[in-house]
Chain A
Amino acid sequence: MFRMTRLRMAITAADIEAKLRNSEKLKPVHGVKVVDVSGGCGSFFNITVTSAAFRDRSLVQQHRLVNEVLKGEIPLIHGFSLTTKVE
């Protein structure tokens, strides 16, 4: 009988962190902290990003920058909370 293997679908905190750390838009990244607060389900994350790229940008522009980097991930998660800090 055919038994379907459960597909690994969940986004992990590490996935998001790697995406942010490797992004050209956010360089130089001084700090990234991503915590899965959904108990490991990959549905809700608290994200903090510290970058010089945020300098001279309004808060909404800073958040937009991060939203742009995570545009592939955001539709796959239930929600996230973002804090940006200027280095």
Chain B
Amino acid sequence: MLRRIFASSPAFLRCTLPNRAPDQVKPELAAAIRRIIAEDRIVIFLTGTPQEPRCGFTVKMVDMMHQLGVKYSFYNILEDDEVCEGLKIYSDWPTYPQLYIDGDLVGGYDVCKGMLLSGQLTKLLKEKDLL
């Protein structure tokens, strides 16, 4: 009973969320994450897959990529809790999906949408000969 109360308390949850830096991801996990990010020039970490998305933002990200007509690789973060939680620390980005181009984090869906609307995303892709 008490444990449930404590476990439900936002204050308690905050205590279990220490400030951590990207370098505080275990070396083996960091290496695994780097390998995934390096698998392709464009890599997207999705909640689910393009065919079976599990989150509205993943749907929107996949639609955006389809609209742009770019080729990309994806990783379903629901398949590995360690990668899912480790990448948030590694990238210093708390949400999914996450888009990487040539190893660099571009951002989540909101950032990508903002860049698309301002023309920056198309420009970036063309500069890198990906479009």
Contacts and interface: CB of A to CB of B under 8 A. Distances in A.
B23 to A, nearest CB: 17
Contacts of B94: 67, 71, 74-75
Most-contacted residue by chain B among A7, A60, A79 (CB, 10 A): A60
25 contacts: A4-B5, A7-B9, A9-B10, A59-B107, A59-B111, A59-B115, A59-B118, A59-B120, A60-B105, A60-B107, A63-B110, A64-B92, A64-B93, A67-B92, A71-B17, A71-B94, A72-B14, A72-B17, A75-B94, A76-B13, A79-B57, A80-B95, A81-B110, A83-B114, A84-B114
B: contact size bracket? 20 to 34
A26 to B, nearest CB: 17
Contacts of B36: none
A60 to B, nearest CB: 4
A: contact size bracket? 20 to 34
Interface of A: 4, 7, 9, 11, 59-60, 63-64, 67, 71-72, 74-76, 79-84
Interface string B87-118: 00000111100000000011110110011001
A75 B17 contact: yes
Contact of A9 (B8, B92, B105, B108): B8
B45 to A, nearest CB: 15
A60 B13 contact: no
